[in-house]
């Protein structure tokens, strides 16, 4: 199954159409770290990470991982071995903290953009995550919680996302 980002405001999953938001500066084929753009292309999906203290484990065929206090996603261009990977937080490496005060990362699925052998500076931390107000993101795709939970029931472990 392929999830399709039809345009900046519509995500199509099977026969469902969901309102969404994307990077503040739109979509691009030439993603760079910090450009606030969502990368175009066809990508796999990683596991589902969720906040057990806020949401019970969702119904999905994806592997579910509970978000812990020390979990982060490396966006540090000076850390080539850890760039665009899940890390244990430390003060030396720049990262996106997964356990946040707001609710954006109560449910997140990393998109496998620049993933297997990440190229430093080509962008990191591209997720599908939650939104309450559909404000633009730093490059991710965001859905409201109700739609995210429906999407989780429909997608499979081998689902891809096609960002047009």
The share of the chain scoring above pLDDT 70, in percent, equals: 100
Tokens (6 digits) for 164: 């047009």
Q: Please, where are the H alpha helices in 26-120?
A: none
- Give the CA distances from residue 115 to residues 51, 77, 119, in Å, rounded to whole numbers and listed in that order: 23, 14, 8
Read off φ and ψ for residue 105, nearest 5 degrees. -105, 25
User: What is the CATH classification number for the domain harbouring 33?
Assistant: 2.40.440.10
Structure confidence at residue 149 (pLDDT): 98
Tokens (6 digits) for 138: 């730093």
For CA atoms 62, 67, 72, 75, the dihedral sign is: positive
Gap between the Cα atoms of 49 and 67, Å rounded: 6
* pTM for the whole structure: 0.97
Look at the chain and report how many structural domains it folds into.
1
Q: Name the pLDDT band for 112 (thresholds 50, 70, 90).
A: very high
**pLDDT tens-digit series, residues 40-99:** 999 999 999 999 999 999 999 999 999 999 999 999 999 999 999 999 999 999 999 999
Q: How many CB atoms lie within 10 A of CB 74?
A: 22
Angle subtended at Cα 99 by Cα 97 and Cα 48, rounded to the nearest 5 degrees: 95
Q: Name the pLDDT band for 32 (thresholds 50, 70, 90).
A: very high
Domain assignment of residue 155, given as a range: 2-163
């Amino acid at each position: 199954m392929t999830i399709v980002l039809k345009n900046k405001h519509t995500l199509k999953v099977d026969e469902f159409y969901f309102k969404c938001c994307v990077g503040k500066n739109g979509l691009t084929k030439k993603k760079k770290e910090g450009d606030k753009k969502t990368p175009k292309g066809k990508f796999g999906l990683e596991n589902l990470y969720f906040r057990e203290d806020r949401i019970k484990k969702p119904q999905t065929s994806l592997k579910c991982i509970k978000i812990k206090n020390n979990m982060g996603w490396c966006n540090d261009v000076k850390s080539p071995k850890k760039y665009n990977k899940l890390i244990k937080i430390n003060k030396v490496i720049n990262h996106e903290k997964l356990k946040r005060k707001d609710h954006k990362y109560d449910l997140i699925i990393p998109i496998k953009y620049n993933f297997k052998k990440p190229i430093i500076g080509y962008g990191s931390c591209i997720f599908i995550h939650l939104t309450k107000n559909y404000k633009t993101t730093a490059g991710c795709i965001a859905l409201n919680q109700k739609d995210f939970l429906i999407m989780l029931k429909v997608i499979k472990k081998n689902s891809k996302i096609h960002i047009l």
